[in-house]
Chains A and B, each alone.
Chain A
Amino acid sequence: MNRVLPILTVLGVICVLWYAAAVWMNSTWTLAQAERAGVEMTFSEIVADTMQQERPKLPLPHQVAAELKKTVIDKKVTSKRSLVFHGWITLKSTLMGFTLGTFMGILMAVGIVYSRTINMSLMPWAIISQTIPIVAIAPMIIVVLSSIGVEERAVPKAIISAYLCYFPVLVGMVAGLRSPDAMQLDLLRTYGTSGWATFWKLRFPSSMPYLFTSLKIGIAAALVGAIIGELPTGAIRGLGARILIGDQFGQPIMIWSALIAAACLAGALVTVVAALQVLTLRRMGFAR
């Protein structure tokens, strides 16, 4: 309770601020309408009007909630108007990108830990690669892939996801694979252990806590990548596409509900990885 109460308070305050801001921002339109009609409006009338506009500047939480209920629960999952359908499209590329990025990250980390040449050549470029805004490359990846015959829409998005997701994994795994101390490595050497066995019996297991910490960052980054991949490309399916279409057709409620859905998806994904982390680390005997 001691931990939940402050969070609930903060969420409550955010909600109140949201309503206040919505009344303030939406009232411009209400007042303009009233002036055009030549009607004087009382304050309570203005407030009531700002709460139920078709195209509000800032939609209210209850409007977004109603839209979410309409598009998540009431629609069939296979319908193109269902947010579950669009969420699934985005989730698919997110998971593909996450798998690819994690795999690449681990592979590069192993290379970096075992080869000094790879370490010296690759590490500076890995860091530089993250200072390049990936969104600059996103539209091009899609055009290039479609011109060499990859028609599947999920692939370019997955590549962008992987690009955003590999770096945290790489950094975490390099730290993790280097985490066994010299004494443990020496012990294995006195056993005459092969390099292969040292990797599987010592380095890889002891990197697990680092790996899972990075995976939590990685999966959130992968989702961001999938959504970014949908934004500049005229995609018609996926949560990013819903945001895009809502923008083009002037439907703020649609944008906001897609955003909230994306937020829930991000929260769910991170929670799943966190649960896997607890489960795995407990099974492996990392106490706590």
Chain B
Amino acid sequence: MSSMAKRTQDWFGWISGGEWLLGVLAIVALASGWLIVGALLFWLAMWALNVRIAGSAMASTRAARIAVPVIFGVTILVVWECLVRGLGVSPIILPPPSAIAARFVSSTDLLWVDFKQTALKGAVSGYFIGCAAAFVAALAIDRVPFLQRGLLPVGNFVAALPIVGTAPILVNWFGFDWHSKAAVVVVMVFFPMLVNTVQGLAASSVMQRDLMHTYSANYWQSLAKLRLPAAMPFIFNGLKISTTLALIGAIVAEYFGSPTRGMGFRISTEVGRLGLDMVWAEITVAAIAGSAFYGAVAVLEKGVTFWHPSQRN
């Protein structure tokens, strides 16, 4: 109870501080039409609030760790809105967040169609095929040390190459629909996934493998019970890198030809028509989809590799 009371007191302590005054000034300035001054004051107020939270005893709580970046993000949106309006920036250059939000809400149907075409059909299917293929290939490589020594440097090299450049070729081979997008994604995620999985399979120590040997475990048993679990942090690293690559691949491939739907298609046509609010709405969808995809894999990782030091706090 006492800690609760102290916490409440802390909250009130902050609000009575300087950022409170700054905040009031900011609102006054905004209300009286001084948008640029208001934006600056608002920025200062929120920054002061963040400094206060980060410096307080609550900084390590979960609430604070969520609140600080959220305040930062909201501040940027408010400052963006105020500056665009205050400076009279043309919506062709930079639309204000409110216009983007309005466009987002009014065209959810179209955005959903694009999302289905690009993210669900192209990116996700390619992601699963590519990651599964790389995983199987990694298991095969792992059994043959000669291949391991040969393929790993090559794979490392290929993983650093600008593979997105193959998009026009694959679109040419597999046609305009989502199959070619999935193919680009497969090629893009294959090598990072392969390299990470092979590394992961080598992660268990000799002593651990010897122990499995003394248990007279065969190859598959020691793979399932020791080496795959030990490889999981590496495999998930590859899976997480691949989520971003998958969306990039699916969107880029659409620049080279697609049916009249899809996020990449929409972005390139709307940029041509100077409909930047629609472009930003698609970017918002891409950001949400990308973060959600990454987040889903990260949550799965937390569940699977709960034993790993990086997951313990």
Interface residues of A (CB under 8 A from B): 2-3, 5-11, 14, 25, 57, 116-117, 119-125, 128, 130-137, 139-140, 143-144, 147-148, 217, 220, 223-224, 227-228, 231-232, 239-240, 243-244, 246-247, 252, 255-256, 258-259, 262-263, 266-267, 270
Contacts and interface: CB of A to CB of B under 8 A. Distances in A.
Contact of B68 (A120, A232, A259, A263): A120
Contacts of B169: 252, 255-256
Contacts of A256: 169
Given A140-B279, A252-B169, 12 more contacts: A2-B149, A3-B149, A10-B150, A121-B71, A123-B69, A133-B247, A136-B251, A139-B271, A143-B271, A227-B162, A227-B164, A267-B160
B146 A266 contact: no
Contacts of B55: 116-117
A231 B73 contact: no
Given A120-B59, A131-B293, A247-B172, A10 B248 contact: no
A119 B165 CA distance: 36
Nearest to A126: B69
B47 interface: yes
25 contacts: A3-B149, A6-B150, A7-B150, A7-B153, A117-B47, A117-B54, A117-B68, A121-B68, A121-B69, A122-B69, A123-B69, A128-B287, A132-B290, A133-B247, A139-B279, A144-B93, A144-B94, A147-B92, A220-B161, A228-B162, A231-B165, A252-B169, A259-B165, A266-B162, A267-B157
Nearest to B282: A136
A120 B169 CA distance: 43
A120 to B, nearest CB: 4
Contacts of A217: 160
B71 A240 contact: no
B11 interface: no
A255 B168 contact: yes
Interface of B: 47, 50-51, 53-55, 59, 64-65, 68-69, 71-73, 90, 92-94, 146-151, 153-154, 157, 160-162, 164-169, 171-173, 243-244, 247-248, 251-252, 255-256, 263-264, 267-268, 271, 274, 276, 279-280, 282-283, 286-287, 290-291, 293-294
A28 B248 CA distance: 32
A267 B157 CA distance: 7
Contacts of A246: 168
A55 B155 CA distance: 29
A144 B90 CA distance: 10
Contacts of A148: 93
Nearest to A246: B168
A121 B282 contact: no
Contacts of A259: 162, 165-166
A117 B50 contact: yes
Contacts of B247: 133
A228 B160 contact: no
Contacts of A147: 90, 92-93
Contacts of A255: 165, 168-169
Contacts of A130: 244
B147 A122 contact: no
A135 B264 contact: yes
